[in-house]
Amino acid sequence: MASTPPTIFAPKRRNVLRRRMARLQQLPDAARYVADDMVEDVLDRLSFLRHEPQNALIVGEHTGALASALRATGCTVEVRDPVLGEVPLNEEAPYPFTQGFDFIASLGTLDTVNDLPGALVHLRRALADGGLMIASFMGAGSLPALREIMLEADADRPSPRIHPQVDGRAGGQLLQRCGFADPVTDSHHIDVRFRSLKGMVADLRAQGMGNCLARPGAPLGKAALGRAQAAFTARADADGKVTERFEILTLSGWAKALRPPKF
């Protein structure tokens, strides 16, 4: 009997965060450097692999840049989101598609699903034979400065505030387990300098990276917020800025039908 995955994230909280992100992204100066980096990386990988998709599915990429780039090559693109749009896509249920895709990109959403293996299985099944999947999301090592600041803010009663994160080794094992051929996992980071804790939190919210844990802990009180501000200031460099790291984990694999053995 299949085991039920633990409830780490609250779907309702996740929905609220993505809707807030969509609203904030309408602002002309909205932070979108993580999404921009993921899109650029996907296009670089497609070019390097010389994979020219004709029928693609894009999940979670909210800027529209990847869809535009693929459509410019003549590719037919379907764009879905776990929350946004007329027909949201449930990543943890079978996809309602009758035709396989020769390319699927999932950007910035798989780090907040409760059943990551299940979500990867559904991605694999949505691929046509010979199709490629690339999934990028926040991985292990992300937000180390904020993690330390929150620990100091909570003092002797730490609360869950940072999401659990997947590392490269676990990602590779998941790809193999879920039936992807030639699995590849790698990561790279983006370092961003912030002048204030408020600015750091604003960037996270604008990019849909707020806390959507099922048990997120109590909000920071006045005293805890003061400790957080002090912790931020203590980490500032000579320019009064704190550097935060966004570690982007990328999983990729192919759908290749098993060939019968030759005798």
- Whether the pLDDT of residue 178 is over 60: the answer is yes
pLDDT digits (tens, 9 = 90+) for 195-205: 999 999 999 99
- Whether the pLDDT of residue 177 is over 60: the answer is yes
Distance between CA atoms of 6 and 19, rounded to whole angstroms? 24
Helix axes 144-154 and 222-234, enclosed angle (nearest 10): 140
- Whether the pLDDT of residue 258 is over 60: the answer is no
pLDDT at residue 259, rounded to an integer = 47
Distance between CA atoms of 25 and 16, rounded to whole angstroms? 14
Residues 6+ apart with CB under 8 A from 259: none
**Average pLDDT value for residue range 25-52:** 96
**Average pLDDT value for residue range 155-172:** 91
pLDDT at residue 1, rounded to an integer = 46
Token pair for 15:
């929905």
Q: Count of H helices and E strands in the chain? A: 8, 6
Percent with pLDDT over 70 in the chain: 96
pLDDT at residue 257, rounded to an integer = 62
Distance between CA atoms of 16 and 5, rounded to whole angstroms? 22
Separation of first and last alpha carbons in the chain: 36
Q: What DSSP string runs through 57-77?
A: EEES--SSHHHHHHHTTT-EE
Backbone angles phi, psi at 237, to 5 degrees: -85, -170
11-254 fold: Rossmann fold (3.40.50)
Distance between CA atoms of 263 and 261, rounded to whole angstroms? 6
pLDDT at residue 217, rounded to an integer = 83
pLDDT digits (tens, 9 = 90+) for 72-117: 999 999 999 999 988 899 999 988 876 799 999 999 999 999 999 9
pLDDT at residue 98, rounded to an integer = 65
pLDDT at residue 99, rounded to an integer = 72
- Whether the pLDDT of residue 54 is over 90: the answer is yes
